[in-house]
Chain A
Amino acid sequence: MKRAANFLEKAMNVIFTFCGFIAIAFVVLVTVFLLVSGIPAIKEIGIFNFLFGRVWASTAQSPSYGILPFILTSVYGTVGAVLIGVPLGLLCAIFTAKMAPKGLGTVIRNAVDLLSGIPSVVYGLIGMILIVPFVREAFNLPDGANLFSAIIVLAVMILPTVISVSETAIRSVPREYEEASLALGATKTETVFKIIVPAAKSGILTGIVLGIGRSIGEAMAVMMVSGNVANMPSLFKSVRFLTTAVASEMSYSSGLQRQALFSVALVLFVFILIINLILNLVVKKDVK
């Protein structure tokens, strides 16, 4: 009996270790795969032409593979989403953590959780049916599928991440800080902006960085509202993101076009890596 138990113990140990390594294996697999399949096209096109080329015409007679429009669109879209989403999310987090009556706070928190669980295709659908026609009429444009609509959708999509991470950070600020500030005669608003928010800074930053990650990696929702034309970005022009560039062409692509799409994915991967590095730095600072 004991021997059997021993055997089981060892077997389970192997299984646990195996599962642990699977996570690493997938990261390595993805990285190696992207490098191997992404680099040839960059070599063939030339890294400068690829990253800074302004024209993407992958199926034209004389194809051109410049992804600057995609990179800039992804950057602008993310910055726009952060500009709108972060103040909204932060204020919402402060409200739920510090101001809201208990019952209302719980309702908002549940709503935020629900918001984060909504599949991106649903966001895209609502954006396509409601936001795109609204933007068209509000700004008197010929068409509402543009960068601005995408920014609105992305801003809503990063809200739950920003809200829940910053709320946790705000809640973990020691109560004494707040009490001391109030006791010294500061108003509630002063306390919130001068004491609590600075004290919760690194947590809030983590929320923002995670929001950026979500926004730059989003494909489905922006594909449905941004129009998908490889223009250099401008607020009311139809644009294509890094993610949607891969998603919209991959299914039929072949040859160099296909390889170039892998290269686009590689660039996107590098972006995500950088964001994760920043996140690590933010969190490390917090520990110190």
Chain B
Amino acid sequence: MKKIMAFLLAIVTVGAFAGCGTTEVDENPSGTVSQVVAGSVTTDGSTSMEKVIGFLSEAYMEENDKVKVTYNPTGSGSGIQAVLDGRCDIGLSSRNLKEAEAEELTGTVVAIDGIAVIVNRENSVSDLTVEQIGALYRGEIENWKELGGNDAPVVLIGREAASGTRDGFESITGTEDLCKYTQELTSTGDVVQTVASNPNAIGYASLASVKDSVKVLLVEGVKPTTESIQSGDYKIQRNFVFVTKKDGAMSSACEDFFNFATSGEADDYIIAAGAVPVER
């Protein structure tokens, strides 16, 4: 029994020391010595940007092992608020800044997200306009035959209320708060899976998450590809934005990461994360 007590005590002691250790590291200010960047960069915001920020921060931390880049998935709105409050270094937003927000903040586009509109492979419809997609989702077109498809009811698959993809899709197609969804699913994977299994379904998802199990629609004759998204020919797309304070100076670590993420170096990682890099 005594041994057990001693063991417990030992664990507690070690735990306490470990706690001290981490605080010391955290308090370590970024070195003034040139070249070596150290410190931490906190990012906060859009859940749609999880993959992009994940790839970028991992690649960056591999090069700069003294810097710790963290990501807090809260949503574009919360991320922007967090920068305003000074709770994070870089806010992540999957929409452009609103005018009021732009007064105090700067938005820098790091990547573009193409939202693909997908239907079941059995569906004969292959090209729609943004208006037609909007009409479908508003419930104005209820049968595929109105669009030249089979005589079958339209099943509208979408994302849950606060999803970044839903926000992006609805704002572009003019269907905000008007969608007559048949299903609201909580992940892109679910959307793809459901559309793949229901011959009458239509859904939307980030281009990167779309698999061969579904058919990607052309929008106004344009296929969603890297080129058509960069050139802006493909209509259903939105920007992934880094949000920073206008007046606050960035720490050297933060500035270094920011420069990396917005440089051509980051392109490969952005592509790997399934988004489209900005044209440079």
Binds B, one of A53-61, A88-96, A198-206: A53-61
Binds B, one of A32-40, A159-167, A169-177, A223-231: A223-231
The CA-CA distance from A227 to B180 in the complex, in Å, is 12
Distance (Å) between the CB of A145 and the closest chain B CB? 5
The CA-CA distance from A252 to B185 in the complex, in Å, is 14
For A133, the chain B residues whose CB sits under 8 A away are: 197-198
* B194 engages A252 (CB within 8 Å): no
The CA-CA distance from A253 to B160 in the complex, in Å, is 11
For B186, the chain A residues whose CB sits under 8 A away are: 223, 228, 247-248
* B177 engages A61 (CB within 8 Å): yes
Q: Answer whether residue A158 sits at the interface, using C-beta atoms and an 8 A cutoff.
A: no
Convert A57-83 into 0s and 1s, putting 1 for each residue whose CB lies closer than 8 angstroms to a CB of B: 111110000000000000000000000
For A221, the chain B residues whose CB sits under 8 A away are: none
* B176 engages A228 (CB within 8 Å): no
**Of B161, B164, B176, B197, which one neighbours A249 at CB under 8 angstroms?**
B161
Chain B interface residue bracket vs A: 20 to 34
* A251 engages B47 (CB within 8 Å): yes
Q: Answer whether residue B29 sits at the interface, using C-beta atoms and an 8 A cutoff.
A: no
* A249 engages B162 (CB within 8 Å): yes
- Name the residue of chain A whose CB is nearest to the CB of B197: A133
Q: Answer whether residue A109 sits at the interface, using C-beta atoms and an 8 A cutoff.
A: no
* B161 engages A58 (CB within 8 Å): yes
* A142 engages B153 (CB within 8 Å): yes
Q: Say whether, besides A133-B197, A133-B198, A142-B152, A253 and B162 are in contact (CB < 8 Å).
A: yes
- Name the residue of chain A whose CB is nearest to the CB of B81: A254
For A223, the chain B residues whose CB sits under 8 A away are: 186
The CA-CA distance from A240 to B182 in the complex, in Å, is 11
* A254 engages B177 (CB within 8 Å): no
Q: Which residues from 1 to 54 on chain B have a C-beta closer than 8 Å to any C-beta of chain A?
A: 1-2, 5, 47
For B263, the chain A residues whose CB sits under 8 A away are: none
Distance (Å) between the CB of B75 and the closest chain A CB? 4
The CA-CA distance from A132 to B183 in the complex, in Å, is 12
Chain A interface residue bracket vs B: 20 to 34
* B160 engages A143 (CB within 8 Å): no
* B2 engages A4 (CB within 8 Å): yes
For B47, the chain A residues whose CB sits under 8 A away are: 251-252
Q: Answer whether residue B112 sits at the interface, using C-beta atoms and an 8 A cutoff.
A: no
Q: Say whether, besides A4-B2, A252-B75, A142 and B155 are in contact (CB < 8 Å).
A: yes
**Of B78, B162, B184, which one neighbours A228 at CB under 8 angstroms?**
B184
Distance (Å) between the CB of B209 and the closest chain A CB? 17
Q: Say whether, besides A248-B186, A253-B162, A145 and B194 are in contact (CB < 8 Å).
A: yes
* B200 engages A142 (CB within 8 Å): yes
Q: Answer whether residue B77 sits at the interface, using C-beta atoms and an 8 A cutoff.
A: yes
The CA-CA distance from A79 to B134 in the complex, in Å, is 38
* A227 engages B160 (CB within 8 Å): no
Given A143-B182, A228-B186, A248-B160, output 6 extra A-B contacts at Cβ < 8 Å: A59-B177, A132-B197, A142-B152, A229-B184, A251-B47, A253-B162
- B residues engaging A (CB < 8 A)? 1-2, 5, 47, 73-75, 77-78, 152-155, 160-164, 176-177, 181-186, 190, 193-194, 197-198, 200-201
